Amino acid sequence: MATHPEPDEPDLGVLSSLLLFAFQDELFTKLAERGFDDVRPRHGAVLAYLAPRGIRATHLALRSGQHKQIIGTLVDELETLGYLERRPDPTDRRAKLVCPTERGLAQMSAAREIITALESRHAERLGDTKYRQFKQLFTDVAIHQRQWATLD
């Protein structure tokens, strides 16, 4: 990869995008192999934060950092594909709860398996203790960096 004599140490942004795209590549390829070939990385903004008991679109927007309009179209697509459905929120008649269907739950389960296997590879290579340490530091850095941004 480093073809230049002076291998500049990659910064946090380069590392993040590298890891994100490679992660998505493996995840969605393997999801497709398992029959979930109609979801794309874009849908991850919803699927990654979906809760079995349902979650509000606004909450999804906050968690994923996407605009609520984008969440709306993603939910539209995933609803058409049969992964989830909208139900009225009993506690707020403005809101609707985004709930996974049977297929949605199956996808979540498959995704979790794939991700667990993926992370286990790294954990085995680095050692369990080191990997756990890494994830803890990663979480800390991500959360603190996020505080810089002003999300609506």
Cβ–Cβ under 8 Å, residues 89 and 97: yes
Please provide residue 41's backbone torsions phi and psi, each rounded to the nearest 5 degrees.
-50, -35
* Alpha-carbon gap, residue 89 to 56, rounded angstroms: 8
* Alpha-carbon gap, residue 83 to 15, rounded angstroms: 32
Query: Shortest Cβ distance from residue 30 to a copy of itself (Å)?
Result: 10
CB closer to a copy of itself out of 12 and 32? 12
Query: Shortest Cβ distance from residue 19 to a copy of itself (Å)?
Result: 4
The type of residue at 149 is A
Judged by CB under 8 A, the chain residues 48 through 77 that form the site for a copy of itself are: 48-51, 59, 63-65
* Footprint of a copy of itself (CB under 8 A): 1-5, 9-27, 44, 47-51, 59, 63-65, 108-109, 111-112, 115, 118-119, 121-122, 125-126, 130-131, 133-135, 137-146, 148-149
